[in-house]
């Protein structure tokens, strides 16, 4: 599979399951590209943009709506896996703990994970919750990509500098790729596909 071709190959993506426990996870062994990030950072919009569909992944203006792990089957080649968002203040402490354990169990025990994509808001300095999630991601010892999302919300001339600020706060060593992304400006899509292809082929 050559780089840059994969966008054209997405013909029949489908939502497969919202899992609330491990025995509901798919069992076909396909690689999984996992999306993590705070509530309302744009994980569902990321899925829709990447596969050029408007409504496959259900987006919501209400943060914290996703409490399950959503599996999107991309042409039986791999899954995009949308994990519950974190940091939603209206969730009870007990609910937050349950979601946290659910995420932890998946990240540390799911053998099909090929890549973790960590979405953060390009407009804001990473929060303490973001830094905590980053540590979770690193301690999983899995391949990672940091995506500075919502790049359309700032001037194009400021995108590169904003990406550097996020990398400096989360990954000062610079050993994890950090890329800009936007569901509105699709110019960043190819770079992300070219990165992902290395982990699903």
Give residue-wise pLDDT tens across range 18-77. Answer: 998 899 999 999 999 999 999 889 999 999 999 988 888 876 555 545 578 999 999 999
Nearest CA to 8 out of 190, 195, 188, 198 is that of 190
Residue 99 has a pLDDT of 74
pTM, full prediction: 0.90
Residue 90 has a pLDDT of 63
Residue 6 has a pLDDT of 44
- Please check the confidence at residue 8 and state whether its pLDDT lies above 70: no
- Please check the confidence at residue 5 and state whether its pLDDT lies above 50: no
Kind and range of the H or E element at 16? strand 14-19
Split at pLDDT 50, 70, 90, the class of 7 is very low
Buried b (16+ CB within 10 A) or exposed e, 23-60: eebeeeebebbbbbbbbbbbbbbbbbbbbeeeebbebe
Residue 18 has a pLDDT of 93
Residue 84 has a pLDDT of 87
Give pLDDT tens digits for 86-135: 776 566 778 777 777 888 889 999 999 999 999 999 999 999 989 988 99
Split at pLDDT 50, 70, 90, the class of 3 is very low
Phi, psi of 170 (to 5 degrees): -95, -40
Residue 96 has a pLDDT of 72
Higher-confidence position of 167 and 56: 167
- Please check the confidence at residue 199 and state whether its pLDDT lies above 90: yes
């Amino acid at each position: 599979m050559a780089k840059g071709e994969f966008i054209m190959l997405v013909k029949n993506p489908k939502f497969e399951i919202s899992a609330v426990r491990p025995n509901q996870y798919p069992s076909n062994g396909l690689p999984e590209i996992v999306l993590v990030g705070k509530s309302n950072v744009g994980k569902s919009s990321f899925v829709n943009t990447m596969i050029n569909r408007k409504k496959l992944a259900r987006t919501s203006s209400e943060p914290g709506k996703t409490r399950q792990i959503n599996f999107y089957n991309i042409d039986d080649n791999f899954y995009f896996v949308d994990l519950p968002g974190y940091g939603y203040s209206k969730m009870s402490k007990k609910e937050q703990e349950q979601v946290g354990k659910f995420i932890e169990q998946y990240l540390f025990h799911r053998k099909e994970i090929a890549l973790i994509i960590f979405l953060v808001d390009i407009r804001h300095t990473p929060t303490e919750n973001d830094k905590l999630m980053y540590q979770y991601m690193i301690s999983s010892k899995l391949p990672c990509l940091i995506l500075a999302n919502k790049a359309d919300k700032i001037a194009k001339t400021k995108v590169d500098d904003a990406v550097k600020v996020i990398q400096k706060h989360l990954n000062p060593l610079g050993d994890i790729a950090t890329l800009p992304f936007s569901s509105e400006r699709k110019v960043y899509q190819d770079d992300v596909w070219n990165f992902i292809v290395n982990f699903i082929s």
